[in-house]
Amino acid sequence: MGRLLGIDFGLTRIGIAISDERKIIATALGNIKTKDKPLEALENLLAKYSSMEAIVVGLPLLLNGKEGDMALRARMFAAILESHFQVPIIFWDERLSSAQVERFLTECGVNRKKRAQISDEQAAALILQDYLNCHSKKN
């Protein structure tokens, strides 16, 4: 029984989250800067966790539901992840997840600098938790 990894892909930072082994709770794990070696940084983040069953990648669809440039880039990054980690990729609609996280952090009184530091990993956790919630109802 492995964990699920959640990814919020961005051009500057990639937010990372991970599920517990029972696939009930998503936890924000951190951010990776895209200019660094993202696969190596991701391996370092995951070193202390048990095996990964799949990767849930947020698919940034346009508001009309179609795929734009960012969705294409997320799919390209996902293909690299799939090849490197040899686990299935699951795409999950992440429309407005970053805006939802930003609003929540603002309402909680988190200052702008701290929001910028944690918003991507929190968006990854939100995407992954949404996926987990949806699939726990089906089981």
Question: Mind listing the domains of the chain with CATH numbers?
Answer: 3-136 (3.30.420.140)
Q: Residue written as tokens 């929190």? A: 122
Residue range 84-102: mean pLDDT, rounded: 86
Q: Give percent of the chain with pLDDT exceeding 70.
A: 94
pLDDT tens sequence across 37-83: 889 999 998 888 878 999 999 999 888 989 999 999 999 999 999 99
Distance between CA atoms of 35 and 106, rounded to whole angstroms? 28
Is 90 exceeded by the pLDDT of residue 96? no
Instruction: Give the pLDDT of residue 53.
Output: 94
Contact predicate 103/119, CB 8 Å: no
Tell me which of 59 and 107 has the higher pLDDT: 59
Measured in degrees and rounded to the nearest 5, phi and psi for residue 94 equal -115, 25
Confidence category of residue 114, pLDDT binned at 50, 70, 90: confident
